[in-house]
Structure 1
């Protein structure tokens, strides 16, 4: 039974490492949003950012909270979405507003 404390210690260390990864992803998401807003670029839908933050904070998850892999995935998807909307704005791609077709951009 001496292996139980060792296994418990390993589990706690792994949970702490994964939690640190989740916090690092959250910090990166917040910094990216702040930098995009300062530059005057679109940050994407507001609900993507706040939904990802709430998913990390709230206890209802797909996986139990000591396993933060799903939280990290949601944060990274939000970061990708924010960078994608900023990249589209920088490349000069036409905005996709509801009810608007790409052909409308070329109408005389």
Structure 2
């Protein structure tokens, strides 16, 4: 095999490993958001489980050595879940397992003057 072919193989291997690492990092972030699912309703659960099923399922839009489609689905689910959490916090309805981070409240939950 020529030197140019080896260089291309090494570059392709590095890109494959980088996309795999990126997909794993996104999957870990999506799994960490699982604790927020109790307060996000059905849409949040569908986005979470749909992204994980698509990532694990062997049939993809792009072949498995190329994880760009998996990364796109995971990133979209993460963005959607993050926006849902922000919307819930803005309306004042936090999930039950999330601590109240509003500094204007005292221990009982009343607003401080």
TM class by shorter chain equals 0.7 to 0.9
Secondary structure class of the residue paired with 2:47: helix
CA contact (8 A) 1:25 1:72 kept: yes
Equivalent runs, 1:1-108 vs 2, <5 Å: 1-34=2-35, 36-37=36-37, 41-42=39-40, 44-92=43-91
Unmatched segments (≥5 aa) in structure 1:
95-108
Q: List, as ranges, runs of 4+ consecutive aligned residues in structure 1 with deviation greater than 4 Å.
A: none
The separation in 2 between residues aligned to 1:77 and 1:93, in whole angstroms, is: 24
What's the CA shift for 1:70?
1.2
The separation in 2 between residues aligned to 1:84 and 1:3, in whole angstroms, is: 46
Aligned length: 91
Unmatched segments (≥5 aa) in structure 2:
94-113
What's the CA shift for 1:93?
7.6
Normalization by structure 1: what TM-score? 0.72
